[in-house]
Structure 1
Amino acid sequence: MPRFSDWEGRYAFFAREFFPEPGCDTARTHGQAIYDELSSAEPVQLIEDHFGLTFGYNYLVARAVHTGGSYRPTPGDLGQEHLMFYLPLRELVTMPRYS
């Protein structure tokens, strides 16, 4: 997702199927704290991918709900990183992208 990491609102999307109101300062502040905590313990690229994938997942779910569907992205629908996120964390951090 090009330039996702430049978008200030990205921190509001820290959990799957959590849909904050646009511009919700509480969600953004909470998400920023989660980002800071996670990125102090794990590779920053991993955390950036987590937030980007969560946003993409939530977008697709919200779009499906809006159109009357119930679609949930399956592993890999959002790319290789999405597929890798179903690995245990100890395995995920050994992948070249995150090591």
Structure 2
Amino acid sequence: MAPMTPTLTIASALSALNIALLAALLSVWWRNYRQFGTPLTLGLVAFALVLAVENVVAIGFFFSSGMLYAADPGAQTAVLAMRALQFVALAFLTYVTMR
């Protein structure tokens, strides 16, 4: 197994934070779906589930030795930037949802 670089360690932590935010969103959206039963809230539930699975898979790739970007610092930086952008988007979404 290839050692984790600091960049991928931070990307992994951001993925874990993304999963936590998605879990909070999922609980609110599921409760709303059960109460109102609208297709929009069901779509939000599906969105949260798919994005959570994507983040779990990403963490698996971060820890696997077969990563496509394991030896490329540029790719690692891009992955970190995408995880950070996703975190910012989910943080805003969580903030407005919980308000």
- TM-score, with length taken from structure 2: 0.39
**Greater gyration radius:** 2
Normalization by structure 1: what TM-score?
0.39
Bigger fraction of residues in helix: 2
Name the structure, 1 or 2, with higher relative contact order (CA <8 Å, separation 6+). 2
